[in-house]
Chain A
Amino acid sequence: MASVEGSGLEITPAPPAPVLDVRADRRRRRRELFRALVRSKTFIVGAAILIFWVFDAIFWRAIVPHDPLGVDPTGTLKAPSSAHWFGTDNLGRDVFSRVLAGAATVLVIAPAATALGLLGGTTVGLVTGFYRGWVDDVVSRIVDAFLALPLIVMAVLVLASLGRSTLNMILVIGIIFTPLIARTVRSAVLVEREREYVAAARLRGERGIRIMVWEILPNITGPITVEATVRLAYAIFAATTIAFLGLGLQDPSPDWGLQIANGRAYMQVAWWMVIFPAAALATLVVGVNLVADGLKRVVEE
């Protein structure tokens, strides 16, 4: 794919309406991007996995053969069979149903946290990258400070104070993502602000905010999208780790991290309690990583 710089923005002699051309060019670029993605095998495989899990997260209630919360004290720790494809857990609950239902918790928390981080990170990144100066310096220091605290450690600290809940998990992960995303956005903005179209906009007298949102932002959707998918993969990883450590949702939630933590004690007599949620988690994370990888290759070329 040809280099993106300046491709739709050369000042052609006597254009009828420069703005319209830019939009048409963006649409053309997006079509080319899409076509390239569809050709990329990594992207397709990843997208397929992701779509499967999203579908499951929305429609699990219609698919599950048993109630994920339904206990059966006389049928505990049964191996996989035709009645229970993934076996039962220590309370007699059907593992297959719980695995299907567990996608819903992760696929609510992780995307919401990523979205929150994107919102905050893009804003901060745009402002610091565009204006630079002392604002940039101060914010960069704050960003560095947040980077010094690993996500898991911060999450442990905050969730212990605030208490365990879905909302708190989203807030913690989202807020900690903000500086990470801000960094990437800032780098992209630093490149874009030197381009001619920005200078042209300034000459036209456009205000800073207009330039940031209408001129620069649409041109950095590529790196932002890649960053978003990478962060999503990490959000999934983080949310399940936090659940495993016992700071996420409480029993009897079918959250995968919680299932694995509970199943740990029974690994030797009921490996199915751990292996199936772990496999589900692995496929989801691999799927998102493949999507991120595919996007990255396509956008960078």
Chain B
Amino acid sequence: MKDLEYHLYEEAKSGRMTRQQVLVRASVLGVSASALGTILAACGSSASSGTSAGGSTPAGAIKKGGTGVFGITSPASDVDPVTMFNTGAIMTTQLACDYLVFPDPQYKLIPKLATKWVSGSTPDTWTFTIRQGVKWQDGSALTNDDIVTSFDRMLDPKIGSAALSAFSGVLSRGNVESTGADTIVFHLDRPYADFPYLVSAFNYNSVILPKNYQIGDFTKGGIGTGPFILKTFSKDQGATYVKNPHYWDKGKPYLDNVNVKYYTDTPPIVLAIQGGTINVFPQVPYQGSQALFSDSNISVSETPSSEYRTLQMRVDQAPFNDKNLRLAVAYALDRPGLVSGLFNGKAELGNDHAFAPIYPGSPTTDQVPQRVQDINKAKSLVGGKTVNVTLTTEQFLEIPEYAQFVKQMVAPAGINVKLDVQPQGTFYGTKANQPWLQVPFGITDWGARGTAGQTIDPAYLCRSVPNAKLSNSGAWNSAHWCDPNFDKLVQQFEGEVDQQKRQGLAVQAAKIQQAEVPDVIAYWIKELRATRSNVHGLAVGPTFHLDASAMWLSS
């Protein structure tokens, strides 16, 4: 048994990790089946956590045919797998394209274009075995060249893909090597124990595309190895797909067609699924969808995730360069109230650090005590003065309501908040005009990531602080916070395979982040996915990760 597997075995035996958590870690590390058997046997009687994927057990025989109709929010920018960064665009591409691996709702990794993956003796080399016989939708064969070029493209600073940010400091351009007919080796810049997550849907731009792909080709149709072939695309209406008859997963997909309809807002999607115009609402914000829970034709599944919001405060500008003011905001918020008011309980409490509860090995509240509301403390931190500040954010999901609550909750401490809610496209902007990276006080939405490292790297490290011209693409540290100690701890954490040591490092890093509070993290959202009751085979999450290959419709 290799080193990594041994560490996992230790954790399992001591009961520090649940069976579920072990399975997840094992999937990431590419643990062989035999070793997995030994490890699981050591688990003993720990119950498995995590909710089951909604509707994944077929009720009777699987019926083929039919059309899946998905209602999603319009892409706020161009739909291209390499440059996309919002839900609408991402889901549109995931129906037609594949990644090397794909996460399930428990964050376990499933083989897709890669069948096996394993690290070297230290996790700075990873070898992926590529599935053979995969065809592009135009009939040509998937080759290692396509894969290597896809990664080179993703890592090209001139193109500025969001993947660049995900790989920053981990994988550099040119270090993806094709060795042998069916293996690809990734030579990392530093040991990174969670690397397979970075080539999964959690790094949403890491879609595998043909060798001679040009940016903008995707919406013309017919590109990808995925279960459905894009036929038509209209930026304000939606997209249509047909079944890929040469899909590598034999027998799938079950549906004949897929339609994606774009909506500018949640209420029409809710009405659409109730009326039957669509049969899947893949990313359901709790606010505005309450009616779905009592509708007998609709089933809503939920699962914890690492989707969250940053209530970011720029530490390099007035007024939040004063740490006490940031702490005042953190102490002024009624977090259980927010979870209740915004999600009716369908969220987990956030503790102002980026180690989400769903990641195995995140610090528990025994190790890093949960921050609770303390208005008196907030008042004394502000010190009796009156502070005026504008909170800028986007018209998206529950965020405008969150902003309203923040405004009201910090008022007693003497902080007067003026709200500026902009359309999503304006708030994210482009090139040198990106308000979300520039405002002194804002709320940004972050999709779920596979690991704490993935969450922290683009948002909290020194090297992720945006420069004045915003020319370092992928640098998304919107609070402009830099703490070298924190960076060091996180880097060690990412390279560490000993689970116990890992947790220790996480606790130290979390404590620093909580004390400095560049962002208030008040909650971690539970993913909701709504389908009509005749829809089966669609996993409940994570976030905007859409794998419709196993979806089927009963009558």
Residues of A within 8 A of B (CB): 69-74, 76-77, 90-92, 250-252, 264-270
Q: Per a CB cutoff under 8 Å, which of B334, B407, B419 touches A73? A: B334
Q: Which residues in window 335-392 of B have CB below 8 A to A?
A: 337-338, 340-342
Distance in angstroms between the alpha carbons of A90 and B419 in the assembled complex:
17
| A270: chain B residues within 8 A (beta carbon) | 290
| A250: chain B residues within 8 A (beta carbon) | 419, 421
> Which of B265, B294, B404 has the largest count of A CB atoms less than 10 A from its CB?
B404
Distance in angstroms between the alpha carbons of A41 and B338 in the assembled complex:
51
Known: A268-B291, A269-B290. A74 touches B337 (CB 8 A): yes
Asked if residues B341 and A76 are in contact (CB atoms below 8 Å), the reply is yes
Asked if residues B337 and A70 are in contact (CB atoms below 8 Å), the reply is no
Q: Which residue of B lies closest to A76 (CB)?
A: B341
Does B15 make an interface contact (CB < 8 A)?
Answer: no
Q: Which residue of A lies closest to B400 (CB)?
A: A251
Q: How far is the CB of B541 from chain A (nearest CB, A)?
A: 23
Known: A92-B341, A251-B400. A71 touches B408 (CB 8 A): yes
| B288: chain A residues within 8 A (beta carbon) | 265-266
Known: A265-B288, A268-B291. A91 touches B400 (CB 8 A): no
Q: Which residue of A lies closest to B288 (CB)?
A: A265
Asked if residues B421 and A90 are in contact (CB atoms below 8 Å), the reply is no
| A252: chain B residues within 8 A (beta carbon) | 404, 407, 419
Q: How far is the CB of B274 from chain A (nearest CB, A)?
A: 8
| Interface bits B257-287 vs A (CB < 8 Å: 1, else 0) | 0000000011100100000000000000001
Does B428 make an interface contact (CB < 8 A)?
Answer: no
> Which of A70, A71, A92 has the largest count of B CB atoms less than 10 A from its CB?
A71
Distance in angstroms between the alpha carbons of A50 and B547 in the assembled complex:
58
A-B contact pairs, 30 of them (CB 8 A): A70-B408, A71-B341, A71-B405, A71-B408, A73-B334, A73-B337, A73-B338, A73-B340, A73-B341, A73-B342, A74-B337, A76-B340, A77-B290, A90-B401, A91-B401, A91-B404, A91-B405, A92-B341, A250-B419, A251-B400, A251-B404, A251-B419, A252-B419, A265-B265, A265-B287, A266-B290, A268-B270, A268-B291, A269-B290, A269-B291
Q: Which residue of A lies closest to B342 (CB)?
A: A73
Does more than half of chain B's interface fall in helix, strand or loop, or is it mixed?
helix
Q: Which residue of B lies closest to A92 (CB)?
A: B341
Asked if residues A74 and B421 are in contact (CB atoms below 8 Å), the reply is no
Which 5 pairs, one residue from A and one from B, show the smallest C-beta to C-beta distance?
A73-B341, A73-B337, A268-B291, A265-B288, A265-B267
Q: Which residue of B lies closest to A72 (CB)?
A: B341
Q: Per a CB cutoff under 8 Å, which of A70, A74, A90, A251 touches B287? A: A90
Q: Which residue of A lies closest to B334 (CB)?
A: A73
Q: Which residue of A lies closest to B266 (CB)?
A: A265
Q: How far is the CB of B297 from chain A (nearest CB, A)?
A: 13
Known: A250-B419, A251-B400, A251-B419. A73 touches B290 (CB 8 A): no
Q: How far is the CB of A163 from chain B (nearest CB, A)?
A: 11
Distance in angstroms between the alpha carbons of A91 and B421 in the assembled complex:
16
The size of the chain B interface, using a CB distance under 8 A, is 24
| A92: chain B residues within 8 A (beta carbon) | 341
> Which of B291, B341, B400, B405 has the largest count of A CB atoms less than 10 A from its CB?
B341
Known: A71-B404, A74-B341. A264 touches B421 (CB 8 A): no
Distance in angstroms between the alpha carbons of A250 and B401 in the assembled complex:
13
| B419: chain A residues within 8 A (beta carbon) | 250-252
| Interface bits B393-435 vs A (CB < 8 Å: 1, else 0) | 0000000110011011100000000010100000000000000
Q: How far is the CB of B26 from chain A (nearest CB, A)?
A: 40
Distance in angstroms between the alpha carbons of A76 and B400 in the assembled complex:
15
Distance in angstroms between the alpha carbons of A79 and B16 in the assembled complex:
46
Asked if residues A69 and B287 are in contact (CB atoms below 8 Å), the reply is no
- Other 14 A-B pairs with CB < 8 A, given A264-B267, A265-B266: A71-B409, A73-B340, A73-B342, A77-B290, A91-B401, A92-B341, A251-B400, A252-B419, A265-B265, A265-B267, A265-B270, A265-B288, A269-B290, A270-B290
Distance in angstroms between the alpha carbons of A91 and B291 in the assembled complex:
17
| A74: chain B residues within 8 A (beta carbon) | 337, 340-341
Q: Which residue of A lies closest to B293 (CB)?
A: A269
| B337: chain A residues within 8 A (beta carbon) | 73-74
| Interface bits B288-306 vs A (CB < 8 Å: 1, else 0) | 1011001000000000000
Q: How far is the CB of A263 from chain B (nearest CB, A)?
A: 10
| A90: chain B residues within 8 A (beta carbon) | 287, 401
Q: How far is the CB of A155 from chain B (nearest CB, A)?
A: 19
| A77: chain B residues within 8 A (beta carbon) | 290
Q: How far is the CB of A252 from chain B (nearest CB, A)?
A: 6
Distance in angstroms between the alpha carbons of A252 and B291 in the assembled complex:
24
Distance in angstroms between the alpha carbons of A267 and B287 in the assembled complex:
12
| B287: chain A residues within 8 A (beta carbon) | 90, 265
Distance in angstroms between the alpha carbons of A92 and B270 in the assembled complex:
22
| A70: chain B residues within 8 A (beta carbon) | 408
| B270: chain A residues within 8 A (beta carbon) | 265, 268
| A269: chain B residues within 8 A (beta carbon) | 290-291, 294
| B401: chain A residues within 8 A (beta carbon) | 90-91
Asked if residues A69 and B290 are in contact (CB atoms below 8 Å), the reply is no
| B290: chain A residues within 8 A (beta carbon) | 77, 266, 268-270
Asked if residues A91 and B267 are in contact (CB atoms below 8 Å), the reply is no
Distance in angstroms between the alpha carbons of A266 and B290 in the assembled complex:
8
Q: Which residue of B lies closest to A252 (CB)?
A: B404
Q: How far is the CB of B112 from chain A (nearest CB, A)?
A: 36
Q: How far is the CB of B396 from chain A (nearest CB, A)?
A: 13
Asked if residues A91 and B266 are in contact (CB atoms below 8 Å), the reply is no
Distance in angstroms between the alpha carbons of A264 and B267 in the assembled complex:
7
Distance in angstroms between the alpha carbons of A49 and B88 in the assembled complex:
48
Distance in angstroms between the alpha carbons of A269 and B407 in the assembled complex:
25
Q: How far is the CB of A197 from chain B (nearest CB, A)?
A: 57
| A268: chain B residues within 8 A (beta carbon) | 270, 290-291
Asked if residues A69 and B291 are in contact (CB atoms below 8 Å), the reply is no
Distance in angstroms between the alpha carbons of A202 and B553 in the assembled complex:
87
Asked if residues A69 and B421 are in contact (CB atoms below 8 Å), the reply is no
Distance in angstroms between the alpha carbons of A92 and B294 in the assembled complex:
21
Q: How far is the CB of B38 from chain A (nearest CB, A)?
A: 48
Distance in angstroms between the alpha carbons of A74 and B405 in the assembled complex:
11
Q: How far is the CB of A77 from chain B (nearest CB, A)?
A: 7
Q: How far is the CB of A243 from chain B (nearest CB, A)?
A: 15
| B291: chain A residues within 8 A (beta carbon) | 268-269
Q: Which residue of A lies closest to B398 (CB)?
A: A90
> Which of A76, A77, A91, A268 has the largest count of B CB atoms less than 10 A from its CB?
A268
> Which of B266, B338, B408 has the largest count of A CB atoms less than 10 A from its CB?
B408
Q: Which residue of B lies closest to A270 (CB)?
A: B290
Q: How far is the CB of A282 from chain B (nearest CB, A)?
A: 22
Q: How far is the CB of B285 from chain A (nearest CB, A)?
A: 10
Distance in angstroms between the alpha carbons of A90 and B398 in the assembled complex:
10
Distance in angstroms between the alpha carbons of A30 and B407 in the assembled complex:
53
Distance in angstroms between the alpha carbons of A92 and B338 in the assembled complex:
11
| A73: chain B residues within 8 A (beta carbon) | 334, 337-338, 340-342, 405
> Which of A70, A73, A250, A270 has the largest count of B CB atoms less than 10 A from its CB?
A73
Asked if residues A69 and B400 are in contact (CB atoms below 8 Å), the reply is no
Q: How far is the CB of A246 from chain B (nearest CB, A)?
A: 9
Q: How far is the CB of B276 from chain A (nearest CB, A)?
A: 15
Distance in angstroms between the alpha carbons of A126 and B356 in the assembled complex:
71
Known: A90-B401, A269-B290, A269-B291. A69 touches B266 (CB 8 A): no
| B266: chain A residues within 8 A (beta carbon) | 265
Distance in angstroms between the alpha carbons of A91 and B402 in the assembled complex:
9
Q: Which residue of A lies closest to B408 (CB)?
A: A71
